[in-house]
Every structure is written in structure tokens, then in C-alpha cells.
Amino acid sequence: MAEAVDTLQIADDLEASGINREQGKAIAHAVRQGRGELATKSDLEAGLSSLKADLLKWMLGAVFVIGAWVFAVIRLLPPARSLRRRNFWMG
């Protein structure tokens, strides 16, 4: 939940430090609008957990695909005894 910003207090503090009232109000207004766009810790944690879940899905999918490719390549290779009998590599 976003924390409330006391713009009147900000404007008063800025006025006390030498900034005129209108400039203080403008700065306080900009601060209040900027606060609405900030991410909270819970927002970041939710995004991170979602990112971790997506990464895990991609990694498991990649492992499955690589395993399927290895299995397919092994199945396509001729058996070892036919290599010796036919002299497969030497022609």
C-alpha cells in the first residue's frame, strides 16, 4: 500500500527554507504524483517470484527438449555390433 504524502507539510517546509509558496506547492505536487509510480517491496517480491516461476518453466522445458534430442540421436545410430561387422567407418 502506498504511503500518504503530506503535500501541505512539504510546501510549508520548503517555504520555511526560503522557497516561495507557489514553488513549494509545485514541488509537493510533483512529489505526490511521482510516489504513485514507485514500486513497493511487495510489488518487487511478487514480480521476482513470477520471474522465478517463468524461468523454472523454461529451464525444465529446455531440459526436456535436450533430452528428447539426445534420445532421438541415440535411437538413430546403428547398433555397435553392426559397426564392427560391416566396417561401417572404414568403408
Q: 66-86 pLDDT, tens per residue? A: 999 999 998 888 776 655 555
Length of the chain: 91
What is the predicted pLDDT for the residue at 1? 46
In three-state secondary structure terms, 38 is coil
Is the backbone of residue 15 left (phi > 0), alpha (psi -120 to 50) or beta?
alpha
In three-state secondary structure terms, 39 is coil
What is the predicted pLDDT for the residue at 80? 67
**CA 37, CA 33: separation in Å to the nearest integer?**
7
> Which range, of 4-18, 45-59, 77-91, averages the lowest pLDDT?
77-91
* Residue whose grid cell is 568403408: 91
Percent of the chain at pLDDT > 70 equals 77
Against a cut of 0.75, is the pTM above it? no
Q: Select the more confidently predicted residue: 37 or 13.
A: 13
pLDDT band of residue 89 (cuts 50, 70, 90) is: low
